[in-house]
Amino acid sequence: MKINTFKTLVGLFFTLSSALANAAISEWEIIPNESKLSFTATQNNAPAKGEFKKFSGKILVDPENYKASSIEIIVDMTSLSASYSDLKDTLITSDWFNIKLFPTAEFKSSDFNKTGEKTYEANGTLTIRDKSAPVKLLFTANETSPGMALVEGETTLKRNTFGVGQGEWSSTNEIKDEVKVNFKIVAKKKS
């Protein structure tokens, strides 16, 4: 009888410990109309800018254990807008994003770290087209009001790593390989 009681108590302890550990993780919902994902490439030494108007994701944060935190973002590549129409018309083609075949891009974090009072980094894998590569996101995060947060950050990608700009466009003479990506995410804590 004592052995069964002990087993029950041990089982209850592990169940409770697991529940408490998971209770510290909070999920944050992206508010789409207040968030922004943009990029700037360089063509003939001039900026060529674009933006993805639709993206969604899952953000899990544990302020007691950032290693348990994670970010998953899915970008709707068909929501592309650009600084001029010819740029958009070019970027949607098979030489560039090929959005008919690859309508989404995805980032999944593998490592999440706090680097300062309100600064963070998330290492993960970005998939654009059929290519995946490691990417580091550097960002700040501030709770703007109870249950609301503003995350702003950036990263620099090499477009050729992801097969963006193929054939004659793979040369970096006219269009540089480096593309700066900026993001602003307004998120609401799920209850």
Q: Does residue 19 have a pLDDT over 90?
A: no
For 33-77, write each residue's pLDDT tens digit: 999 999 999 999 999 999 999 999 999 999 899 999 999 999 999
**Residue 41 resides in a domain:** yes
For 105-136, write each residue's pLDDT tens digit: 999 999 999 999 999 999 999 999 999 999 99
**Residue 181 resides in a domain:** yes
- List the CATH number of the domain containing 137: 2.40.128.110
Could you give the 3-state DSSP secondary structure of residue 28?
strand
Assigned token pair, 185: 């995410």
**Residue 4 resides in a domain:** no
**Residue 44 resides in a domain:** yes
**Residue 65 resides in a domain:** yes
* pLDDT averaged over every residue in the chain: 90
What is the number of structural domains in the chain? 1
**Residue 73 resides in a domain:** yes
Contact in structure between 151 and 184 (CB atoms under 8 Å): yes
pTM: predicted TM-score of the whole model, two decimal places? 0.85
Q: Range of 129's domain?
A: 26-189
Dmax (CA) for the chain in angstroms is 81
Q: Does residue 17 have a pLDDT over 60?
A: no
